[in-house]
Amino acid sequence: MPETPTVLQRRTAPARAALAAKFKTPEEKSAHYRELARRSNDGRVVLSAADAAALGSAYCLLARIAANLPAPPTPLPRSGDDRRDSEPDRDEAA
């Protein structure tokens, strides 16, 4: 007795059929996926174990340094902003 397809199998059947029809041979399908893998790996940086360890150590060092830095000063008001709020204009005072 054949197994009945699951809900997920039934729902994805049209997409799987379209994908199967896209490639005439298994070799074409393999070539397509190899090309996808090549393109996704083009921009990837591959580090050796020693490089990855050095990068991790540098990150930890910079994090410790950043934790010990003083907090940045609060920004000063822009020139003229504080005068406008505290002193009335000459025209308004008259």
- Which tens digits make up the pLDDT trace of 14-63? 998 998 899 889 999 999 999 999 998 888 888 999 999 999 999 999 99
Name the band, by pLDDT with cuts 50, 70 and 90, for residue 79: confident
Distance CA 23, CA 20 (A): 6
Does residue 89 fall inside a structural domain? Answer: no
Give the pLDDT score at 39. Answer: 92
pTM (predicted TM-score): 0.38
Evaluate whether residue 4 is within a structural domain: no
Residue 65's identity, in one-letter code, is: I
Residue 25 domain flag: yes
Q: Where are the alpha helices (DSSP H) in 1-94?
A: 7-22, 26-42, 49-68, 81-86, 90-93
Per-residue pLDDT at 34: 94
Amino acid in position 91? D
In a domain, 69, yes or no: no
Residue 14 lies in a domain: yes
Q: Is residue 29 part of a domain?
A: yes
Q: How many domains does the chain have?
A: 1
**Span 77-87, average pLDDT:** 61
What is the model's pLDDT at position 91? 57
Report if residue 77 sits inside a domain. Answer: no
Residue 93 lies in a domain: no
